[in-house]
Every structure is written in structure tokens, then in C-alpha cells.
Structure 1
């Protein structure tokens, strides 16, 4: 599948879907020192070529904000207490106009735990954290993450058309997911 970047928005943080974790798993907040666990998870899902580059990115993006990470980043632990998933309830200026919105950021579950009904509880936990600080949210993804995009659509996120490639991306996703996403005018339904 062609990889096309995309952005999605959720106009409010009302009625966040809730899902329970399967038995043996738990969600916990980031603790100082967890940057290595974050790097391990994100490298395992091919966001980075290796853990060292993931850790360097973490230190650049979040290093100055470690105290905020303890309130905004969650991990899923398995029955052995190993960190196997993470999501960050971050923030940013989506439109460059100075308005700060919540951001679902760096969602990942190590490959051997994917498909075990962990993604929805993880996303719900991150969105509930966002709701403490923000009234709306956005995220960025890509067409190759179509299963995650489908979940985000089910959580009330909508396409944000930022360039001509967005129409190609969402048309491709409509075909791949076999669901109507855009209306006849090219806006989200």
C-alpha cells in the first residue's frame, strides 16, 4: 500500500469509548527511567531503526518535559510486568495559530502482543488523560497504518484535509477498509 501521511481530528473529548484490558495486563503511567521502555516499544514497531535512535528522539522531544510525561504517557504491562505498549496524551499547535490541542502521539504495541485486544484500552486510557487537559484532540498517522486509522475513526476522529494528497489517502482507505469516510464533497461524513 502506498504510504501517505494523514491527520485526524476529534472536535471534543466527550463520550470516550471504554474498553477493559484482557486479564493479566495493566495500564500504568510513565515513570522517570521509562524512556528506555518507550524506545524499545517504538523501535519494535519500526518507528525507528533501533532503540538508540528511538531513545535519542525521545530525549529530544520529551527529555525537557519528563515531569509532564509522568502525567501524559501510559504503558501496558504484561503479566510479567514487562512494558509491551505505550501511548502519549501529548499536545500541539495543529494549525499553527497558537491554539493548543490534545494530541494522541506515539501509539505502539510490540508485534508479539498485537491482535490481543490491547489497542482500544490503550487508546481509551490516553484519551482520558487528554480529557484532563484539553477539549479536543488530533493525531497524525499514515495510510499503511490502516487498522489503527479504522480504530481512530471508530473513536470519533475525522479526516482533516491538509493537502491534495489527503483525498488520495482517504479514498485509498475507503477501499481498503470497505467503509465510507468522505462525503460527496470530499469532507468527512
Structure 2
């Protein structure tokens, strides 16, 4: 598997991966990524924002197995948000999340001082991954959170 930036041709596959993943945890509810207006056009959405990128993991046939994004968090100049880290079920457990996290965090630390993320306590494997990457749990969401259906929040500080 290799990691590359998302292309227009990947939009539909990533939308399906994200929606199926959220459905499998009964998180296809309002105020989650499931209903984000940009979910069907991730390539365009991330290209249009400064200091934003979305990466996908692809196999040798260039088929998408998962992805992750970095974008500014609200109006906070120095805080980014790790967004939409999802992997197809059949591709899980093979280290793809770690590869995607490395790509995203390497990019993030070039542009930001902190990286924030929101998730669900139902996603235990994801929470372990975030902690292993140095994210610290928070007691509540940062102000201006859009996904207030989530119940777990993390922040990572980049040391320059």
C-alpha cells in the first residue's frame, strides 16, 4: 500500500468507506462526518483550503483502502484538526492507519502548533492509535466544534 494525496476519482470510494464505517457503529447520525456537506467532494474541499490536505492509502491497482485529512480548526490559526480517518474493514489491522497518521502529522507539524481530533468512545481501536501517537484526551470539545455528537476529544502539541 502506498499513501498519496486524494484525487477526484477517489471521492466516491472514500465517501462509501466513511459512511459504511459510521453505519457499522450506529454513528450515521446528525453532527457526525456522515452528514458533512463536503463528504462527496473531499478532493475539492481539501484543495480549496490553505494548509489542508487529504491522503488516501491505495494498493498496487490504485484502489483506495482508506484515508485521512488535516484542515484548520475553526478560526484558530495554529490548531489543525485530524479529520476523517477511515479504513475499509478488509484493510484494517495492516498498519494503514499508522501510515496515514504519519503522513498527516508530518504535514500538520509544518503548519500548526497543535492537532485536535474528535471521535467516539465506541471506536476503541482509534482511541488507542491516537494515544500511541501522542494525543492527550480532553474533558470536552474545543469551542466551535462542528461534530458535537462525538464524545471523545484529543489534542497533540507539536514541539518545534
TM (normalized to structure 2)? 0.70
Deviation at residue 62 of structure 1 after TM alignment: 7.6
Q: Is the 8 A contact 2:17 2:87 kept in 1?
A: yes
Q: Is the 8 A contact 1:76 1:84 kept in 2?
A: yes
| Pair 1:144-2:125 in alignment | no
Mapping of 1:10-159 within 5 angstroms?
25-46=1-22, 56-59=37-40, 66-68=47-49, 72-93=53-74, 98-100=75-77, 101-159=79-137
TM (normalized to structure 1)? 0.60
Q: Alignment partner of 2:100: what SS?
A: helix
> Number of aligned pairs?
134
Q: Alignment partner of 1:143: what SS?
A: coil
Q: Which has the higher contact order (CA 8 A, sep 6+)?
A: 1
Structure with greater Cα Rg: 1
* CA spacing shift, 1:92–1:70, aligned 2, 3 Å: closer
Mapped partners of 1:102, 1:79: distance in 2: 31
CA shift digits 1:122-155 (9 cap, x unpaired): 1111111212321211000111111110110111
Deviation at residue 57 of structure 1 after TM alignment: 4.4
CA shift digits 1:82-121 (9 cap, x unpaired): 001100011213xxxx423111100000001111121111
Q: Alignment partner of 1:139: what SS?
A: strand
Q: Alignment partner of 2:14: what SS?
A: helix
Q: Is the 8 A contact 1:72 1:90 kept in 2?
A: yes
Higher strand share: 2
Q: Is the 8 A contact 2:67 2:85 kept in 1?
A: yes
Give structure 1 stretches of 5+ with no counterpart.
1-24, 164-168, 171-189
Deviation at residue 26 of structure 1 after TM alignment: 0.3
RMSD: 3.0
Give structure 2 stretches of 5+ with no counterpart.
29-33, 142-150, 153-160
